[in-house]
Amino acid sequence: MRDSIQLLCSDIDGTLLNADRWLSDATISAFAKVGLPLILASSRPPQAMRYLQEGLGNLGEALIAFNGGLIIGKDGTIIENNSYDTQVLSTLIPHHTKHSYNLSIYSNQHWFTDQEDEWSLREINNTRATPIYQAASESLDFLNNKKLGIHKLMCMGAPEELDSLVALLEPLYSDKVHLYRSKDTYLEITPKYIDKAKALAVLLKKEHNFGLEAVMAFGDNHNDDELIRRVGKGVAVQNATPTLKSLADYTSPFTNKEDAVAKAIHKFLIAD
């Protein structure tokens, strides 16, 4: 197995991070010991991934942000930018003004949200990113004036409010965006035809001389499905969804809080 794997790719939340939402010593040690390139692939924006690269000692390595919406190469250049226009946001804002859910708007390095609440504070704690607080209409004007697309809209709040938002947007934009519920209280709105596997394939073609068959990847949730299915060795952590486990080549008996990734690296790639 060690000879056939040339690169590692990992999801972050629910997969790589421990109960303290940080990298355990065992995880840092395993990546250092195996000595293979590591690509982080996440729904997070890039600024919420680089501090983890720094902790792993590979700051400056390529990364896949927004589930494949933004692919950034080793030299910091944008390899591929997949976003959607602001019409979805224009439609969403009137609905948002009548409800209490948090609306977070992500475009490149920008994170806008209109209020400091439990949801925005939780994201700040989880990702170490800092938002700009302003009305959604101001953010819309900014994006239009700068001619910037949207990489992700994230709505966090009561499930019934998010249900009504899905009912509004799905008939209008099902050909443009993917409405993804990571949990009942979270709705992520991302470009329709992206996923981590497609993004990784583009990145490998640009910066390496091998394909997905030479990659071992780790994940836990639905946005990892294609990645785990298509790589040479797909590993699901124990807390993964049933679907992801069914797609994986190996399901760890350990959760992310029990160093599942580090233990899988030792099991398959580091000889005792």
Rounded CA-CA distance 112/142 in Å is 10
Q: Which residues pair with 215 in a beta bridge?
A: 7
* Digit-coded pLDDT (tens) for 71-128: 999 989 999 999 999 999 999 999 999 999 999 999 999 999 999 999 999 999 999 9
Q: What would the two tokens of residue 25 be?
A: 């010593």
Tokens 């966090």, located at residue: 156
What is the enclosing helix (H) or strand (E) of 173? helix 159-173
Residue 172 burial (CB count, 10 A):
12
pLDDT at 272 over 60: no
Q: What is the pLDDT of residue 1?
A: 67
Residue among 114, 124, 123 nearest 93 (CA):
114
Mean pLDDT score across all residues of the chain? 96
Confidence of residue 194 (pLDDT cuts 50, 70, 90): very high
Strand 250-251: give its sheet, edge to edge.
78-81, 70-72, 63-65, 38-41, 7-10, 215-219, 233-236, 250-251
Per-position b or e across 58-73, b if 16+ CB within 10 A of its CB: beebbbbbbbbbbbbe
Rounded CA-CA distance 201/79 in Å is 12
Tokens 């692939």, located at residue: 41
Confidence of residue 182 (pLDDT cuts 50, 70, 90): confident
Cβ neighbors of 270 (< 8 A, separation 6 or more) are 2, 30, 33, 34
Rounded CA-CA distance 49/144 in Å is 26
Determine the angle formed by the axes of helices 87-97 and 159-173, rounding to 10 degrees: 150
Q: What is the pLDDT of residue 3?
A: 82
Tokens 């950034």, located at residue: 72
What is the arithmetic mean of pLDDT over 19-40? 97
For residue 219, the one-letter residue type is: G
**Is the distance from CB of 261 to CB of 250 less than 8 angstroms?**
no
The pTM assigned to this predicted structure is 0.95
For residue 127, the one-letter residue type is: T
